[in-house]
Amino acid sequence: MAKVHYVTCPICRKEYYIDQILYEAILANPKQKLLCPFCRKEFHQEMKPKS
Amino acid sequence: MNKDMHQFLARLEREKPWDVLRIKKEVSPEFEIPAILQQVEFRRKDPVIIFEKVRNLNGDLSPFPVVINLFGSRGRLADALDSTVEKLPFDYLDKEKEVPPVVIEKRKSRVKEVVQTGKAVDLFAIPFITHHEMDLGPYISAGTCWIKDPDTGWTNCAILRIYVAGKQRLVVNFNPARHTNYIFQKYKRLGASIPMIVVIGHHPAFYMGSQTKHLVDEVKIIGGVMGEPLELTPSETWGREVLVPAQAEIVIETELSTTEEDIEAPFGEYTQYYGGQRLNPVADVKAITYRKDAFYLDIMPGHADHLLLDAPMIEAYLYNRIKAVVPGVAAVHMPVSGTARLHAYVQLKKANDAEPKTVIATALSSDYRVKHVIVVDDDVDIFHDEQVLWAIATRSQWDKDLVVIPGMMGTRLDPSGNGIITTKGGIDATKPFDVHAFPQRLSIPKPVLERIRLEDYLDPEALR
């Protein structure tokens, strides 16, 4: 099955998802910018590798 | 002068006025246009809709009326090629040949009537639409992106989804499985940025030509499908080195980076799911040119407007590929129920019991998106899902009639797959070749069917 990774925007608290490649980019660089599609604000979010 | 979108719409309004709706009330490009189209579709209608008053991304009334659902009916696609719904894929095949373009002067090119370069470039003046709730923002959904192969000089034309990130900034989605990406990788190895033009709005035949699956100079195929050499004119940024369609509605000239990436998506896709947020290449806009009376053309993602545009071309391509191996193929249909990409119905007059699985193998390997192939006899109408399902119900046994092939290349937009790796399959839903061993299908005597006219028995009101 396709892997998507849900993130919660810390500003508007709404949830959306990122794809596997962006998820791996965040694991490599926790400061990687994300952009909330609901409030259109930038944020970054630390993610832990899933087993 | 080339035929164009204005002429097509004018002819449609003249000959089929029920096929064009004009909305004069002011609308927002954020969700309102998609909501109106969806409401129209709920009433089982599929007209082109022209929104005459739309706010742009600056909040002003845009000079561009918006056209949506231009490709939302097979009848309109057939009209674009002076064909019929039944003959459309075959007529497309006849027209899918190389016709070299002609270069004309800028003063004869309607797309040069208004020119913005440098600081004057403002994407926000155009009413780009935000379609679905979780979309990242406004997107260009009907832009054909032209990129030249650095080795062959051929131009690849692909409709790519493009996020409008700023007044002079776009982020372009690249799919690893597409031709465009192979060309992108060539420039990346060269360490070079890519001159890329985005063409928005032209005659529907232009769009259909750009959907060719062949690895050729696609500008020539566009001319073939349009039935006339495509008129090109020099771009503002690169002159004669990069040519643009002279009678397009809008052309955006960009420099596509092979090193800089930015956030793009979520975006609602043809599979009717959102693609997850990802990183994609950035394009800096160098110039925008357009006709004084330009329409802004949008394609509604995940709806018939999006699904049908490519369907006849995939059908034509699959038909040709299968015909070379199994001559008895009668027709191919990509149903909207299967996103017009993932399912293929093939009608076959078979010569032996090995042909259906050969058809399945050929079709599955011909287009990366085709995931399930159902082969039926020529007495099954492949334009009606219920007939195909009936054939599966009564003419297949899955211990011998199923083909399953794991690990093939598919679309990453299919959420059931694993990236671009997917399991594909097919069903042989044909009768055994020895038909005397198989029951007969129900029928009413043909002379009686042809003699009976409903109008002789029923009030016309009852037939509405």
B252 and B388 together in one domain: no
At residue B250, the pLDDT reads 98
**Shortest CA gap A21–chain B (Å):** 7
| Sequential DSSP letters for B96-121 | -S----EE--GGG-GGGSEEEEGGG-
Q: Which two tokens stand for residue A37?
A: 């599609």
B266 and B408 together in one domain: no
- The ipTM value here is 0.92
pLDDT grade, residue B361 (50/70/90)?
Answer: very high
B422 and B277 together in one domain: no
| 3-state SS class at A25 | helix
Nearest to B388 by CA among B334, B325, B445: B334
Nearest CB among A3, A20, A34 relative to B263 is that of: A34
- Answer whether residue A8 is part of any domain: yes
**B371 chain-A contacts, CB cut-off 8 A:** none
pLDDT, tens digit (0-9, with 9 covering 90-100), for B174-205: 876 677 888 999 999 999 999 999 999 999 99
Mutate to test the interface with A, among B131, B277, B371, B416 (most CBs of A within 10 A): B277
pLDDT, tens digit (0-9, with 9 covering 90-100), for B158-176: 999 999 999 999 999 987 6
d(CA A11, CA B110): 46
CA B76 vs. chain centroid, Å, equals 13
- Answer whether residue B38 is part of any domain: yes
> Residue A49 carries which DSSP code?
P
B186 and B129 together in one domain: yes
**B423 chain-A contacts, CB cut-off 8 A:** none
pLDDT, tens digit (0-9, with 9 covering 90-100), for B71-103: 999 999 999 999 999 899 999 989 999 999 999
- Answer whether residue B462 is part of any domain: no
B103 and B139 together in one domain: yes
CATH label of the domain that carries residue B103: 2.30.110.10
B282 and B429 together in one domain: no
pLDDT, tens digit (0-9, with 9 covering 90-100), for B267-282: 999 999 999 999 999 9
Domain count, chain B: 2
Mutate to test the interface with B, among A7, A9, A22, A47 (most CBs of B within 10 A): A22
pLDDT, tens digit (0-9, with 9 covering 90-100), for B239-274: 999 999 999 999 999 999 999 999 999 999 999 999
- Answer whether residue B84 is part of any domain: yes
- Answer whether residue B273 is part of any domain: yes
**Shortest CA gap A6–chain B (Å):** 9
CATH label of the domain that carries residue B386: 3.40.1670.10
Helix (H), strand (E) counts: chain B: 11, 23
Chain B touched by A11 (CB under 8 Å):
no
pLDDT grade, residue B464 (50/70/90)?
Answer: low
> Is A2's pLDDT higher than 80?
no
**Shortest CA gap B279–chain A (Å):** 6
Q: Which two tokens stand for residue B452?
A: 């009976």
At residue B463, the pLDDT reads 67
Range of the domain at A30: 4-43
> Is A46's pLDDT higher than 80?
no
Q: Burial of B181 by CB count in 10 Å (0-12 exposed, 13-18 middle, 19+ buried)?
A: middle
B214 and B78 together in one domain: yes
- Answer whether residue B414 is part of any domain: yes
d(CA B215, CA B245): 20
Nearest CB among B134, B414, B418 relative to A37 is that of: B134
> Residue B294 carries which DSSP code?
P
b/e B217-229 (16+ beta carbons within 10 angstroms → b): bbbbbbbbbbebb
Give chain B's mean pLDDT. Answer: 94
B282 and B343 together in one domain: no
B293 and B429 together in one domain: no
Mark residue B297 as left, alpha or beta (left: phi above 0; alpha: psi -120 to 50; beta: remaining): beta
At residue B180, the pLDDT reads 84
Q: Do the bridges between strand B139-140 and strand B296-298 make them parallel or antiparallel, or are there none, so unpaired?
A: unpaired
Contact A17 B266 (CB under 8 A): yes
- Cβ–Cβ < 8 Å for A1, B416: yes
- Answer whether residue B440 is part of any domain: no
Please indicate whether residue B394 or residue B463 has the higher confidence score (pLDDT). B394
> Is B115's pLDDT higher than 70?
yes
B211 and B138 together in one domain: yes
- Answer whether residue B413 is part of any domain: yes
Please calculate the CA angle B315-B317-B323 and round it to the nearest 5 degrees.
Answer: 95
Mark residue B191 as left, alpha or beta (left: phi above 0; alpha: psi -120 to 50; beta: remaining): left
Contact B419 A40 (CB under 8 A): no
**Shortest CA gap A49–chain B (Å):** 18
Range of the domain at B50: 5-304
**A25 chain-B contacts, CB cut-off 8 A:** 279
Q: Which residue of A has its CA nearest to B278?
A: A22
Positive or negative: CA dihedral B387, B389, B391, B394: negative
At residue A48, the pLDDT reads 65
Contact A35 B276 (CB under 8 A): no
